[in-house]
Structure 1
Amino acid sequence: MNVFQIISFVLLSFPALAQMQTFSLQEVKLTGGPFKNAQDVDLRYILALNPDQLLAPYRIDAGLPIKAPRYGNWESAGLDGHIGGHYLSALAMMHASTGNAELKNRLDYMVTELAGCQAKNGNGYVGGIPQGKVFWERIHKGDIDGSNFGLNNTWVPLYNLHKLFAGLRDAYEYAGNQQAKQVLIGLGDWFIELIKPLSDEQIQQVLRTEHGGLNETFADLYILTNNKKYLETAQRISHRALLNPLLAKQDKLTGLHANTQIPKVIGFEKIATLTGKTDWSEAAQYFWQNVSQTRSVAFGGNSVREHFNPTTDFSQVLQSNQGPETCNSFNMLRLSKALFLDKNAVSYLDFYERTLYNHILSSQHPGKGGFVYFTPIRPNHYRVYSQPETSMWCCVGSGLENHTKYGELIYSHSASDLFVNLFVPSTVDWTAKKIRLTQRTEFPYQNQSELVVETTKPQEFALHIRYPKWAENLDVRVNGKAQPVDGKPSGYVAVRRKWKSGDTVTVRFKTSTRLEYLPDGSNWAAFVNGPIVLAAKTSTDDLKGLFADDSRMGHETKGRLFPITSAHALVGDPATYLNRLKPAENLRFNLDSLTLQPFFEVHDARYQMYFQTFSREAFDEQKARLKQQEAEALVLDASTVDKVNCGEQQPEVDHNYQGEKSDSGYDDERFWRRTRSFIAYQLQNKNRTGKYIDIRALDDIKPDQVSVLIDDRPAEVLSADGKTIRLRATDKEVVILKIVAVKGINTPRFNQIRLLTQ
């Protein structure tokens, strides 16, 4: 057990936590298979990054000379320094998992450099946020203008800061860096002083802006120090607008920016374990149940264009090229792990395993490396991969971490017993008991695993083997002798005996392929074998931007959208759908002209994961209707040079949103933004082909309530039709659109702005 875990269990006396414990990453080693490959590929990516470039924003803010230019992309666009925090975590966890010495050298170097920046600042603060000193002084004085992603027109500064908090914590927890602990405590004390003058109402106003899991890291500071001021702060900076509905078991999630919410809930759960607030833990469980069971697609991901879609309508998810975001699953796995350790419920592992194999493993290119931001489920679409020198997105930060810690839940233990949770080729050394367990398996390609015990002397304990929800039966043999299987799916089968070196447990299970429909009850279904989601490569046409450049929207696909009506469908009697699969080898199945295979193997191609199911009569009727709808939508997209979905986080950030006295919301399944002062966006007029700007609102646009400027001049209004107005665009490469409220009266709720060729 590592230092952090020891402190945790000394401080905590709750039975569930003491009952189930994790092994340290140092004690678990991957020995083969796709997860080991993913770890190796990630290691190369980590080493391809330059620590001095990642440190540059911190040195700039501290007034120190830089040793290398900072990276571009998001690291020079307002989120400066966020990858540096993730990098600390990745270095620490990858070093713990592999023992690679260069990783430890880099980690120690970065922490020393950050300590130097902190010393130069002189007040405990260290950060890379542009103009940080001025920004934080405004917050300290109560000058707060917060929205979902902008705090005083600064891009998610608390989210950015949280990455450093978490990175310093991980540097101490996983790598034992004592200096990181001291820098972390200094940063925590600075933050407490920062918010001391603020009322609870002002703090909640600040928390409207995305702030990651800042409450969790202050709970961690309490674990590290046993100083109650950190636990009190953790509760003070817990966002009540999310917590209160969860406490009441009310689903208010639709329309919210998804990854903004999940880290907060991880914090609620940790605070609950430290304070005994069972209602906070129940709120976390309610959130997990809601997201994992009613908002997640087959591969475990959730959201469309980064927001929670209605549970009753996944049509936007099916249509968009911005499908579930990898960061969401990164954090849902952290929440699943926390709840599993707290509640000992195997259902959390079932979701954890599904998401690990199908989203996290698939989100890194297995050969060239590179991380995926959006994973569309739109048929015949594809994903984009990052590159070390060009891409500094949030999903690169979490991606660096994702593939460092595959060993975290393969095994766990209680005071006396050992638990096998996942079937992954690996070894675990239970150093306290002088027991080693080696797992040999080719799962998911073969449905068995062999566990070999090594011990210095015979020892009696129970080996608990997970009985997965997806297993149709389980056969357990010790040294070839069949054992009684008393457990049930989503539970454990316990084998208790006096073990000696060489004892071998063979576990066999049966799986089959089934159809899983989307949670909204629509007729879209995915093929799933055991925990493995299957998909088919459909083409390699027009994979524009497959490996991202350094553009602001490099993480989004640029290739055309193929009509959904041209996608392969399952037509006829539902009883025949599965019968059409013809098994091949290595989890491959022939489906008519397609070949289904594990989705984590599908790369460098367009793919189809979800299939529409129809009776013959319904198919003909639906195809004609959808063809007309899609034709209209594709014509509009083809004439669109640029667009902003108002009130959505990433589109607004991408278009350099500025504003005052503005708020945003989600009504009638559409996002919006309005203002009592002004809002402004920068539209990219590529090749100067855009001629017109259409502004659409949810309310009538009245000339006496709003004025519009283009490049600081009154716009020429070409037409106005209730909720839509058309303006003439300038022929500049960048068009600045500014909407001003008249006499401080709220403008209409603007929904979308498009720059069009016709």
Structure 2
Amino acid sequence: MSLKNILIYIVFVALCNNVLGQTMKGISYFDLKDVRLLPSIFKHAEQADLHYLLEMDPDRLLSPFLREAGLTPIKESYGNWENTGLDGHIGGHYISALSLMYAATGDARIKQRLDYMLTALQRCQEANGDGYIGGVPGGRAMWDEIRAGNIKAGTFSLNGKWVPLYNIHKTYAGLRDAYVLTGDERAKAMLIRMAEWADTLVKQLSDAQLQDMLRSEHGGLNEVFADVAAITQNPAYLQLARRFSHQAILESLIQQTDKLTGLHANTQIPKILGFKRIADLAEDTVWAEASRFFWNNVVRQRSISIGGNSVSEHFNPVDDFSKMIHSIEGPETCNTYNMLRLTKMLYQTDPQTDYMDYYERGLFNHILSTQHPEHGGLVYFTQIRPGHYRVYSRPHTSMWCCVGSGMENHAKYGEMIYAYRRDELFVNLFIPSRVNWSEQQVEVIQDNNFPSEASTKLTIEPKKPTSFTLHIRKPSWLAGTPVVRINGRIAELTNDGANYLSIYRRWKRGDVVEVGLPMDIRTEQLPDGSNYYSILYGPIVLGARIDTADLSGLRADDSRMGHVAKGRQIPLKDLPILVSDPNDIPKRIRAVPSKPLHFTLTGLQQKGAAIQLELEPFYQIHDARYILYWPQATEKQVQEMQNKMAEEEKERLALAAVTIDKVVCGEQQPESDHFIQEENSNAGTFEDTRWREASGWFRYTMRKLPHADQWLYVRYLAEDSSRQTEVRVNGIAIGVLPSTGEKQPPKTIRLRLPHQVREADRIEVQINGVPPATSHKILEIRTISG
């Protein structure tokens, strides 16, 4: 090794040790094994998740990995996403979830399950012979194409496969978590071998070829390779992490330019996790600032009161949240899962309570709400469309991405409650728990009934009297001055700053710190300033149940779109409107006696009649239609608002009522759920509108009803240049799209389905560009009843 490389290695090792341990400015987190939840809503969620994990069949999750390694599976693979192209991705998440759950609980059944999974994956790696582990169907041939530089990348596909890089990222992350969280040396060795495989895979690719490949969704591969660099203290893996960093998104963030509108949200967020991890290891302030800019943009301009973001998985315009109000595909759980992971990274190196305010918001109001408290089912979309509802997964039918991240979410509630720095202990979340601070030989027990009661109690249990500073977070939602008592007496604070209540003293066994955390009702408007308001009590977002009728698909089946709540959409004009000046909304809310966190909301009008509804924490609302954001108007505005709602929704709801199936073109999940095939096609966005065009063709498998008279509905952009499009169903040409040569607003056409497909319940719909022309930009295709 040259002297230069030796010096680089020495510097890198020092950086790794600095970031992995304590930094002068930052803080350290406790291992999950050092934090145990005490009885609370979070402990209940943890236990429900534990049972969900044990309910799943490891042999069915392992089936894709064994199949692709040329080994005989013990059982057939799960269905749903697990046998239609994304085979194996839940297996990776499952290993992460098991690792988190074992660290959080020490449950021997979970460790046994984890060992079983790792043993099987080790067999797969040995059978593959080159370090690879994966369930991507036909993946070996595809990786050979990539290695040879034959790259055909689209946003949601790579060489004809459904986001294979994203898929294998889950395996990488699972192995990393098994090592970091449980100390499994076998997982470490497997992770390093798989990282070596990736390095060999792309070694002969130019940077331009690699960046072309990264147009396909790839999860947080750059973060994992940075983690491998820290684990091995080998800077070569940090270089690999940089090569796997998507420059197209990074450069705009470095320039602090917002180009997020219209992008698939959870394709981007994991990339930023990698940027931040690389920045921490390399002390790269430019990449760190780019990560911070992204967080500020998403949290402050694109997130709603529960901490979630996106509509139909994509970032909507910061000045127009109307799609979120109208859509039945609201904020995605995976997005908040990853935003909380980014928040954790940012807080560690810059412990500002703004980060903790957001983390608490997302945890209590979105993450906690996405698990059914009885059967443990997990939620994909949390709609904010008033009057709609959510769908819950089942362990053996639902293999969505949000099931994968969801299994992890409820196993790691202890990760951010506490933090420390030398002789300072930070209490950041008010969740009943105990923490073992081994460096100071202190145990701290936090007991409360928060948020039902606006206080928390900390019992300090040092092995012997010891001095340290206790920092108790001052959340932004405080409605008054917090009162701190030590052993029943008002405490003298070392510092009562904007961020923390700080107490330095010599602590003895049994010292008790009690903190009052005054809360009150407040409102938050949608970020675009439109007249929709969310109601909060302290950090808790309140909602109202309005009905339990027509909850079609409440517990999901194994269909590709089973995660979407497809029941009837209630017209917005028929739902309650909050008639009040915005500033007076809190005055219309009264606490319900003897029901903590329940309130009566008056000032509502529904179909001309005055009504009232009961508010409760949104995380308690399940198996019901609900309102989370309230349309608001003054007395003079009510009729005008209802008329506007009716006009805006008239055509859309009428179309929804006759729709059998629907594909939004250029949008990942609808296209993958309809088994897109294509040749020489291209997807893109114009502002917040997604489309797909083709000089060749693209094709979807769509549902129809047998026997009935039905039509194909196509929505497309009229262009200012000549375009020619042929529409085929099951190979039969059924029409062409008019091309005027003039730029016009989006147009629609209805084409009758041919009688030859009358008996079928599924059809192949193909859009052809007519040579030498390119097809129109197709926005949406539906099958509709006559």
* Fold shared by both chains (TM-score > 0.5): yes
Q: Which amino acid aligns with 1:242?
A: I
Distance 1:141 1:210, change over 3 A: same
Which residue in the other structure is 2:775 paired with? 747
1:196 aligns with 2:220: no
* Larger mean Cα displacement after TM superposition, 215-224 or 552-561: 552-561
* Larger mean Cα displacement after TM superposition, 615-624 or 247-256: 615-624
* Larger mean Cα displacement after TM superposition, 385-394 or 465-474: 465-474
* Larger mean Cα displacement after TM superposition, 736-745 or 355-364: 736-745
Which residue in the other structure is 1:553 paired with? 561
Structure 1, residues 407-432: CA drift from partner, whole Å, max 9, x if none? Answer: 00100101111111110111001122
1:298 aligns with 2:305: yes
Q: Which amino acid aligns with 1:752?
A: E
Q: CA deviation at 1:627?
A: 1.3
1:618 aligns with 2:637: yes
Aligned equivalents of 2:126, 2:232: Cα separation in 1: 21
Which residue in the other structure is 1:504 paired with? 512
Q: CA deviation at 1:688?
A: 4.8
Conserved in 2, the CA contact under 8 Å of 1:55 and 1:84?
A: yes
1:544 aligns with 2:552: yes
Distance 1:716 1:151, change over 3 A: same
Q: Which amino acid aligns with 1:692?
A: W
Aligned equivalents of 2:195, 2:404: Cα separation in 1: 22
Distance 1:160 1:481, change over 3 A: same
Which residue in the other structure is 2:125 paired with? 118
Distance 1:602 1:489, change over 3 A: farther
Which residue in the other structure is 2:533 paired with? 525
Conserved in 2, the CA contact under 8 Å of 1:690 and 1:755?
A: no
Structure 1, residues 711-745: CA drift from partner, whole Å, max 9, x if none? Answer: 11222459888843332223221111112222354
Conserved in 1, the CA contact under 8 Å of 2:716 and 2:777?
A: yes
Aligned equivalents of 1:692, 1:718: Cα separation in 2: 15
Distance 1:7 1:160, change over 3 A: farther
Aligned equivalents of 2:503, 2:494: Cα separation in 1: 10
Which residue in the other structure is 1:635 paired with? 654
TM-score (norm: length of structure 1): 0.97
Aligned equivalents of 1:14, 1:173: Cα separation in 2: 14
Alignment equivalent of 1:282, drawn from 281, 289, 296: 289
Alignment equivalent of 1:678, drawn from 688, 692, 697: 697
Q: CA deviation at 1:675?
A: 1.6
Aligned equivalents of 1:607, 1:127: Cα separation in 2: 41
Which residue in the other structure is 1:3 paired with? none
Which residue in the other structure is 2:717 paired with? 698
Distance 1:124 1:668, change over 3 A: closer
Aligned equivalents of 1:506, 1:150: Cα separation in 2: 54
Aligned equivalents of 1:274, 1:239: Cα separation in 2: 18
SS at match of 1:548: coil
Structure 1, residues 422-473: CA drift from partner, whole Å, max 9, x if none? Answer: 1011100112221000011000000111100111110011111111111122
* Larger mean Cα displacement after TM superposition, 630-639 or 401-410: 630-639
Aligned equivalents of 2:79, 2:303: Cα separation in 1: 33
Q: CA deviation at 1:9?
A: 6.1
Q: Which amino acid aligns with 1:131?
A: G
Structure 1, residues 52-72: CA drift from partner, whole Å, max 9, x if none? Answer: 111000000000011111111
SS at match of 1:737: strand
Aligned equivalents of 1:394, 1:488: Cα separation in 2: 43
Aligned equivalents of 1:121, 1:602: Cα separation in 2: 47
Which residue in the other structure is 1:728 paired with? 752
Q: CA deviation at 1:701?
A: 10
Distance 1:490 1:238, change over 3 A: farther
Alignment equivalent of 1:211, drawn from 218, 235, 247: 218
1:238 aligns with 2:257: no
1:34 aligns with 2:45: no
Aligned equivalents of 1:416, 1:704: Cα separation in 2: 69
Alignment equivalent of 2:597, drawn from 573, 587, 598: 587
* Larger mean Cα displacement after TM superposition, 104-113 or 186-195: 104-113
Q: Which amino acid aligns with 1:509?
A: L
Aligned equivalents of 1:285, 1:77: Cα separation in 2: 37
Alignment equivalent of 1:609, drawn from 610, 628, 639: 628
Distance 1:735 1:240, change over 3 A: same
Aligned equivalents of 2:334, 2:727: Cα separation in 1: 36
1:44 aligns with 2:72: no
TM-score (norm: length of structure 2): 0.93
Aligned equivalents of 1:114, 1:301: Cα separation in 2: 34
Conserved in 1, the CA contact under 8 Å of 2:723 and 2:775?
A: no
Conserved in 2, the CA contact under 8 Å of 1:52 and 1:67?
A: yes
Aligned equivalents of 2:500, 2:682: Cα separation in 1: 50
Which residue in the other structure is 2:607 paired with? none
Conserved in 1, the CA contact under 8 Å of 2:724 and 2:737?
A: no
Conserved in 2, the CA contact under 8 Å of 1:255 and 1:669?
A: yes
Aligned equivalents of 2:25, 2:525: Cα separation in 1: 38
Which residue in the other structure is 2:9 paired with? none
* Larger mean Cα displacement after TM superposition, 566-575 or 620-629: 566-575
Aligned equivalents of 1:487, 1:578: Cα separation in 2: 32
Identity score, percent: 46
1:156 aligns with 2:129: no
Conserved in 1, the CA contact under 8 Å of 2:425 and 2:470?
A: yes
Q: CA RMSD in A?
A: 1.8
Aligned equivalents of 1:53, 1:527: Cα separation in 2: 43
Paired residues for 1:197-596 under 5 Å: 197-472=204-479, 473-485=481-493, 491-584=499-592, 585-592=595-602, 593-596=612-615
Structure 1, residues 346-395: CA drift from partner, whole Å, max 9, x if none? Answer: 11000000000000000000111110000000111100000001100000
* Larger mean Cα displacement after TM superposition, 353-362 or 656-665: 656-665
Aligned equivalents of 1:146, 1:745: Cα separation in 2: 23
Q: CA deviation at 1:522?
A: 0.5
Aligned equivalents of 2:496, 2:527: Cα separation in 1: 25
Conserved in 2, the CA contact under 8 Å of 1:82 and 1:160?
A: yes
Q: CA deviation at 1:625?
A: 2.3
Alignment equivalent of 1:665, drawn from 684, 694, 698: 684
Conserved in 2, the CA contact under 8 Å of 1:350 and 1:490?
A: no
Distance 1:433 1:158, change over 3 A: same
Q: CA deviation at 1:344?
A: 1.1
Q: Structure 2: give runs of 5+ residues left out of the alignment.
A: 1-12, 603-611
Conserved in 2, the CA contact under 8 Å of 1:330 and 1:360?
A: yes
Q: CA deviation at 1:199?
A: 1.0
* Larger mean Cα displacement after TM superposition, 677-686 or 600-609: 677-686
Aligned equivalents of 1:573, 1:11: Cα separation in 2: 53
Q: CA deviation at 1:563?
A: 0.8
SS at match of 1:755: strand
Q: CA deviation at 1:8?
A: 8.4
- Give the count of matched residue pairs: 753
SS at match of 2:154: coil
Q: Which amino acid aligns with 2:180?
A: E
SS at match of 1:380: coil
Q: CA deviation at 1:74?
A: 0.5
Conserved in 1, the CA contact under 8 Å of 2:15 and 2:282?
A: no
Conserved in 2, the CA contact under 8 Å of 1:93 and 1:170?
A: yes
Aligned equivalents of 1:599, 1:697: Cα separation in 2: 38
1:143 aligns with 2:167: no
Aligned equivalents of 1:285, 1:704: Cα separation in 2: 43
Which residue in the other structure is 2:63 paired with? 56
Conserved in 2, the CA contact under 8 Å of 1:347 and 1:490?
A: no
